[in-house]
Amino acid sequence: MKGHTYGSRRGVYVLTSYNTASVGEELAYLIQSLHRGTVIGEITSGNLMHSKTYEIEGTDIAITVPVINFLDNNGEYWLGGGVVPDAIVFAEEAVEHVHEIADLHRGLKSLIAATGDLLDKHYAIHEVALNVSKALMNKWDDGMYWSVIDLDSLASLLTADLQETSGDHRLHVFHCDIEPESLHDVPDIPTAEEVGQVINSVFKIELLHDNVGYLRMDMMPDVEVVKAIWPQMVKQVWRKIVNTGALIIDMRYNTGGYSSAVPLLCTYFFDDKPLQHLYTVFDRTKSTMTEVMTWPKVRGQRYGSSKGVYILTSHLTGSAAEVFIRSLKDLNKVTVVGEPTIGGSLSNGIYQIGESVLYVSIPNQVVFSAITGKMWSVSGVEPHVVAQANGALSVAQRLIAARQLKNKQGK
């Protein structure tokens, strides 16, 4: 070509309307599909595929047939129809939106780089953070962010890229006009009048057939809350099920909460001696490794280590609930029945991206198995017995009945 090219770094904005057709559509399509710019306006007319018209011999009828097809860089055929703009607006409003989107694009690179810097500083696995930061900037260089038209679409695209390149679905970018509260603020300690209400809202018990206890736990309270409610909890709940022959713990609706009480709760399913190593936590914010152990003393009677304990799970089970389940599963103290859990984070930090109203949620802790020493997977807990969540309770009951029958026959 003669003269200077416009180059590949500056913004190109193609404005379209319902009248945009044929070769005009081809230009819009190529700019968009090759990640060279942003298309703004109305969906085009849908005449991109070049056609020829033929008369049918001996009649007054003519037929128009597309004779050229297009394949994009992914090897996919253009399927007809109009070009769908990145920003769909009325044609007469397109110019106004160009200025808004161009202003946003001028600050995109710094926002993407700031996201990478936050990962580098806070993400639990530093090596992964470095690779993700590099991948984000490579995507910027390849023009993958020209489709961004507002902060919400940027948050969505950054989230997808973070999760794809890291393999960690817990990374999340979101748009919030006010500074979000920390997810792990110290909770309020219930008053004496509130204790009963807290117990009833978190725990539900039932005595099932054949001396089987049922305990439903819908959240993981902070350890200070547990200490406040535990004397009454032991009287109202624990004493009724601690002497059962087997126990079903229903965590299908437990999306998590605080992990601080996990060691205390786990302690009830071990003997008092020796203390049991449950798991090890690496905290990136403090650069510390902490071995988490069972407690030497607990209030009330322990359930013991010899009776059957079955935990029910679902795709909703997450976060601190998973820590409790995986700790007991690793140490062969429970049988897990249900669906794979969500794979939630032990601890997340929420950080502002630059001076914007975008925030990124970053897992800043990783957990290592007490048995293998390997890092726990982010994919969640796999049950011993896979079952649909709504049928997990009956499956667990059948397993218990089969075990009881086997024990009787053994005697």
pLDDT tens sequence across 171-227: 999 999 887 765 445 667 878 778 888 888 888 999 999 999 999 999 998 898 888
pLDDT for 393 equals: 97
Q: For residues 357-374, give the mean pLDDT.
A: 92
Three-state SS for 41? strand
Q: For residues 314-323, give the mean pLDDT.
A: 93
pLDDT for 235 equals: 85
Report the distance separating Cα 304 and Cα 269, nearest Å. Answer: 5
pLDDT for 183 equals: 47
- Under 8 Å between Cβ of 66 and 49: yes
Short-list 360, 372, 252, CA closest to 313: 252
- Under 8 Å between Cβ of 316 and 255: yes
Three-state SS for 204? strand
Report the distance separating Cα 373 and Cα 236, nearest Å. Answer: 38
pLDDT for 14 equals: 97
Q: Is a pLDDT exceeding 70 seen at residue 409?
A: yes
Three-state SS for 350? strand
Q: Which residues 6+ apart lie within 8 Å of 333 measured at CB? A: 269, 270, 305, 309
113, two tokens = 């780089």
Report the distance separating Cα 409 and Cα 393, nearest Å. Answer: 24
End-to-end CA distance of the chain: 92
Q: Name residue, tokens 């003269």.
A: 3
DSSP 28: H
Q: How confident is the model at residue 411 (pLDDT cuts 50, 70, 90)?
A: low
